[in-house]
Amino acid sequence: MDSLISSAYTQALEVIGSIEPRIADATRQELADQRASLKLIASENYASPAVLLTMGTWLSDKYAEGTVGHRFYAGCQNVDTVEALAAEHARELFGAPYAYVQPHSGIDANLVAFWAILANRIESPYLQKMQAKNVNELTEADWETLRGELGNQRLLGMSLDAGGHLTHGFRPNISGKMFHQQQYGTDPETGLLDYDVVAAKAREFKPLVLVAGYSAYPRRIDFAKMREIADEVGAVLMVDMAHFAGLVAGKVFTGNENPVPFAHVTTTTTHKSLRGPRGGMVLAQEEFAADVDRGCPMVLGGPLSHVMAAKAVAFAEARTSQFQAYSQQVADNAKSLAEGFLTRDANLVTGGTDNHLVLLDVTSFGLTGRQAESALLDAGIVTNRNAVPADPNGAWYTSGVRLGTPALTTRGLGHDEFDKVAELIVEVLSNTQPGTTKAGGPSKASYVLADGVADRVKAESAELLDKHPLYPGLVLG
Ligand code: PLP
């Protein structure tokens, strides 16, 4: 298999290079860079060659607006097979009554979910006429009323600096504009989600949509409690499991930690801990299925058939016992990473982790997140800066660095290696000083990394990485 994969990529790059050599070169270089760095971006992973190869085919060329068996284009029989299989795998993998695999990304999935919830819950005669396809009966005044009804609903989600996502009601995002929004944060002392505070806000605000899920919260959520809150105030519970879908598929998050049975609608990306192609998906209870199914034309155009095919391949991988072992290792490694920091006196938001990510507060090193991110990159450690709750440095410079274990776990790193990763990160940050602005004042962006540290850390991480090569059998000729 290794030699097949090697020759497939070698030849593909030759074909690409014959048309635009710079793209072939950048693609080769990206592999070299990914192989040579410690990738700790919590939202990234390494998809399998099978998933990657599935995306590079002529399925990409087919337009297939509509749904399985009900397309607005002729000749969609193979796309029907692909989409039906991806949806079937998704339903089985997550135990969901319904799966919609067309969204191109996580944000698309959330937009589909929002509009499906509005369509399902807003009792408007105009909306009914629209759904019944009597669109032409609506006058301009009817549309105006309908816009007012759809546009004046309420959404309650986790704030960005507590770990929520842009699409959970952040003002600059469309979700913060199409809804009246309010946000819940985390406890200022513990950094943990306080369900009583969420419930109190929900009682007061009475949202139509209660969003749970996160991009940077290092803890598990009790979705039974979130559903209880939603039910008490008559809200729809939408869970965005983009970050932790792999831990749900891998049966690390079970019972109340698995959102799928509790949420009315669950959205996800397929490329983070789930290790599939870049893309999105919506799972739903029966009651919402027909509305989600109208993702096209409601929000989306033509589905990416090649990506839906790769989703089917990734879901087939995720139902194996190997994937379950991988997911458990992702969570175990996050604990090792957290312990590695705590034993070296570093500060973690919430004091630890029980999912796949760690949020390191870098203010104790005298740095902003931006300075820490840049210094780490100099030493071959790829991370992303991230706000911490009530961040004094704002969302651009930030005070934190978010670190995730899915990618390096795919390479095979385990407990001791993640402890070493914590050691290397602490070494870089303890040897970094904030720089000064041109005017001589303190800078939030520039920094000085002590001589020799980057090279020393790179050499030590090379030892780790050489023992756990990325795509071990893949040799480009
Ligand atoms: N939802 C959450 C919780 C995320 O973390 C992200 C991406 O980081 C998204 C949605 C958006 O996903 P995409 O970048 O595929 O649009």
CATH number, domain with residue 435: 3.90.1150.10
**Does residue 299 share a domain with residue 442?**
no
Dist. CA 391 → ligand 1 center (Å):
21
Given 303, 318, 333, which residue is the final one in a domain? 318
Q: What's residue 356's pLDDT?
A: 98
465 close to 36: Cβ distance less than 8 angstroms: yes
Dist. CA 217 → ligand 1 center (Å):
14
Test site for ligand 1: of 108, 114, 167, 356, most ligand atoms within 8 A of the Cβ: 167
470 close to 35: Cβ distance less than 8 angstroms: yes
Ranges in the chain, pLDDT < 50:
none
DSSP string, 87-156: HHHHHHHHT-SEEE---SSHHHHHHHHHHHHHHHH---HHHHHHHTT-GGG--HHHHHHHHHHHHT-EEE
| Structural domain includes residue 17 | no
| Structural domain includes residue 414 | yes
Dist. CA 388 → ligand 1 center (Å):
18
Write down the residue that tokens 């067309």 correspond to: 102
- Parent domain of 138: 58-318
Instruction: Decide whether any atom of ligand 1 lies within 6 Å of the 107 Cβ.
Output: yes
241 close to 185: Cβ distance less than 8 angstroms: no
Test site for ligand 1: of 215, 241, 244, 283, most ligand atoms within 8 A of the Cβ: 215
**Can you tell me which atom of ligand 1 is nearest the CA of 43?**
8
Dist. CA 141 → ligand 1 center (Å):
36
**Does residue 253 share a domain with residue 128?**
yes
| Structural domain includes residue 474 | no
Instruction: Decide whether any atom of ligand 1 lies within 6 Å of the 402 Cβ.
Output: no
Q: What are the CA-CA distances from residue 434 to residues 113, 373, 398 (Å)?
A: 43, 12, 14
Dist. CA 239 → ligand 1 center (Å):
12
Q: Give the residue, by CA position, lying nearest to ligand 1 atom 13.
A: 106
**Does residue 301 share a domain with residue 338?**
no
| Structural domain includes residue 35 | no
**Does residue 207 share a domain with residue 193?**
yes
Q: Give the residue, by CA position, lying nearest to ligand 1 atom 11.
A: 106
What percent of the chain has a predicted confidence (pLDDT) above 90?
Answer: 91
**Does residue 170 share a domain with residue 155?**
yes
Test site for ligand 1: of 107, 170, 384, most ligand atoms within 8 A of the Cβ: 107
**Does residue 402 share a domain with residue 314?**
no
**Does residue 205 share a domain with residue 338?**
no
Q: What angle do CA 197, 182, 195 make, to 5 degrees?
A: 20
**Does residue 343 share a domain with residue 246?**
no
Instruction: Decide whether any atom of ligand 1 lies within 6 Å of the 167 Cβ.
Output: yes
Given 268, 286, 318, which residue is the final one in a domain? 318
**How many domains does the chain fold into?**
2
| Structural domain includes residue 68 | yes
Q: What's residue 131's pLDDT?
A: 64
| Structural domain includes residue 24 | no
Q: What angle do CA 115, 256, 201 make, to 5 degrees?
A: 55
Instruction: Decide whether any atom of ligand 1 lies within 6 Å of the 106 Cβ.
Output: yes
Write down the residue that tokens 């500060």 correspond to: 347
| Structural domain includes residue 371 | yes
Instruction: Copy the structure tokens of residue 110.
Output: 């959330």
Which residues have a catalytic role annotated?
63, 65, 240, 269, 272, 278
Q: What's residue 191's pLDDT?
A: 95
**Does residue 431 share a domain with residue 415?**
yes
Given 252, 284, 318, which residue is the final one in a domain? 318
Dist. CA 165 → ligand 1 center (Å):
7
Q: Give the residue, by CA position, lying nearest to ligand 1 atom 10.
A: 106
Q: What's residue 133's pLDDT?
A: 59
User: For the domain that residue 225 is a member of, what is the CATH number?
Assistant: 3.40.640.10
**Does residue 335 share a domain with residue 303?**
no
**Can you tell me which atom of ligand 1 is nearest the CA of 278?**
15
Q: What's residue 36's pLDDT?
A: 96
Instruction: Decide whether any atom of ligand 1 lies within 6 Å of the 43 Cβ.
Output: yes
| Structural domain includes residue 151 | yes
**Does residue 300 share a domain with residue 337?**
no
Instruction: Decide whether any atom of ligand 1 lies within 6 Å of the 273 Cβ.
Output: no
**Does residue 160 share a domain with residue 136?**
yes
